[in-house]
Amino acid sequence: MKHFHDIVAYRRAVRKYHDDPVPDAVVRRCIETAILAPSSSNLQLWEFYHVKDAAKKQALVEACMSQPAARYAPNLVVVVARHDLWRERCRANLEFVQSLPEDEPDEKPIKAARYFTKTIPTLYWDFFGVAGLLKKLFAFLVGLRRPMFREVSASEVRTMTQKSVGLAAQTFMLALAAEGYDSCPMEGFDSRRIRRILGLPRGAMINMVISCGKRAPGGIYGPRFRLPLEKVFFEV
Amino acid sequence: MKHFHDIVAYRRAVRKYHDDPVPDAVVRRCIETAILAPSSSNLQLWEFYHVKDAAKKQALVEACMSQPAARYAPNLVVVVARHDLWRERCRANLEFVQSLPEDEPDEKPIKAARYFTKTIPTLYWDFFGVAGLLKKLFAFLVGLRRPMFREVSASEVRTMTQKSVGLAAQTFMLALAAEGYDSCPMEGFDSRRIRRILGLPRGAMINMVISCGKRAPGGIYGPRFRLPLEKVFFEV
């Protein structure tokens, strides 16, 4: 196994691949690793679609504006943020917490139950953005007096979901790198068309499309550019 | 070095730590690795603040609602999404592209220049959300005829930034795990108070606060819960 830093450094956005696909078992294994990523309130609102059907794949390439990273990719994986499934995922967490042996003398399970039946629904429930605006006002008023969570609007809660799903997407790409495979994360796509291809409801957001394969010559566009550490890291 | 999967599996949300802090050099090294994560259009709109000043740290704990993961942490790192710096980061990318030797016969540098001076500003520029709404309408109309990028509203572009910064945050936590250290990602905080503590402008978004240290007994709250793979992974 390569050193962790080497794995991260090996990952580059690859836009030309050899023809051989990543074996299904490798894709599956990398996703098994990816879903160990943390997520907001452990809701795990992610889904991964490995698109293998030729017609669907062609439609997906077109929905990715036929960009080279999609066109030349042997494998395409769509990472979806299922914000619409928050109730179901709350329930799954609650059932898990309640299934734990009750030999602990503390209040953690009770607290967890309250969290998944009260706190999260209060934050995630919305009605065409109106409830979010009211929550925003409430957070502002409370925040005048004491520290208060403020990312309560409908779009901010959706952002939280997208952010969490991204953690799994990055872990997936690093897992591919650890296995000696390459990837390219894409955000330039038509999310509405991708939802239609995958038969997903409106509440599902496309987080990324990740192409996978083995890098071919010319697959990496130029040397890596990163800002110097002093521009982005501060000890205060 | 541990196997990549073991590193990912080792990472758990840790809420009680031993007193010994993570050495500064380790934090720095992990951030050097973290910033190799990919980002939307390579804008790298991330910043990492390792808060060492005692008064600032105490204020930060309070801004994190004094939750145990912050209160007991020897180190706290604030991950910031500097959406407001997109112009500067466009310029840095442009300068890099223009600094490359021009021995290539293709059009990549010209395309890249157009990308950072036209495409990105068109997407990122906004005026109190109004331009975003117009862009949204435009994308809808074009999208009736051909595949079209739709995440063009002000809040959707900000979401894209938060998502990218999250990729670096997850890489940072995995790097800590690879070094044998622990972390806990926190989103339950008062972002306005944290901005004030760090002296950041309004356009800066707090992506996460990450506590770091070495896990102490009882630092992990119960066994890990993940949905079974069949609930989140599909071959289509």
Q: Could you tell me the residue range of the domain that residue A78 belongs to?
A: 1-223
Angle at B202 between CA B212 and CA B50, to 5 degrees: 20
Predicted local confidence at residue A107, as pLDDT: 64
CA distance linking residue B192 with residue B194, whole number of Å: 5
- Say if B94 falls within a structural domain: no
Residue of A nearest to B25 (CA): A235
What is the three-class DSSP state of B194? Answer: helix
Q: What domain count does chain A have?
A: 1
Angle at B166 between CA A91 and CA A96, to 5 degrees: 20
pLDDT tens figures, A81-110: 999 999 999 999 999 998 888 766 566 677
Inspect the interface and report whether the beta carbons of A32 and B229 lie closer than 8 Å: yes
- Say if A235 falls within a structural domain: no
- Say if A228 falls within a structural domain: no
Per-residue pLDDT at B105 exceeds 60: no
- Say if B35 falls within a structural domain: yes
Region of poorest pLDDT, from A74-78, B127-131, B139-143? B127-131
- Say if B47 falls within a structural domain: yes
CATH of residue A131: 3.40.109.10
Predicted local confidence at residue B103, as pLDDT: 62
Report which of B213, B170, B208 is spatially closest to residue B191, judged by C-alpha positions. B208
Inspect the interface and report whether the beta carbons of A2 and B3 lie closer than 8 Å: no
The beta-carbon neighbor of A52 closest among B100, B174, B235 is B235
In chain A, the percentage of residues whose pLDDT exceeds 90 is: 88
Inspect the interface and report whether the beta carbons of A175 and B38 lie closer than 8 Å: no
Statement: the pTM of the whole predicted model exceeds 0.90? yes
The beta-carbon neighbor of B192 closest among A150, A207, A236 is A150
Angle at A27 between CA A22 and CA A28, to 5 degrees: 145
- The burial class, CB within 10 Å (0-12 / 13-18 / 19+), for A231 is middle
Inspect the interface and report whether the beta carbons of B233 and A174 lie closer than 8 Å: no
Predicted local confidence at residue B56, as pLDDT: 97
Ramachandran category for residue A22: left, alpha or beta (phi over 0 → left; psi -120 to 50 → alpha): beta
Q: Which two tokens stand for residue B105?
A: 């016969």
Is the ipTM, as predicted for this complex, more than 0.85?
yes
E strand or H helix that includes residue B182:
strand B182-186
- Say if A200 falls within a structural domain: yes
Residue of B nearest to A92 (CA): B227
For chain B, give the number of residues: 236
pLDDT tens figures, B37-76: 999 999 999 999 999 999 999 999 999 999 999 999 999 9
Inspect the interface and report whether the beta carbons of A93 and B235 lie closer than 8 Å: no
Cα of A222 to nearest chain B Cα, Å: 9
DSSP B13-75: B---B-SSPPPHHHHHHHHHHHTTS--GGG---EEEEEE--HHHHHHHHHHTTT-HHHHT-SE
CA distance linking residue B95 with residue A168, whole number of Å: 32
- Say if A65 falls within a structural domain: yes
- Chain A residue numbers with beta carbons less than 8 Å from the beta carbon of B167 are 166-167, 169-170
Inspect the interface and report whether the beta carbons of B232 and A7 lie closer than 8 Å: no
- Say if A233 falls within a structural domain: no
Cα of B21 to nearest chain A Cα, Å: 14
Predicted local confidence at residue A106, as pLDDT: 61
Computed on alpha carbons and rounded to an integer, the radius of gyration of chain B in Å comes to: 21
pLDDT tens figures, A102-131: 766 566 677 788 999 999 999 999 888 889
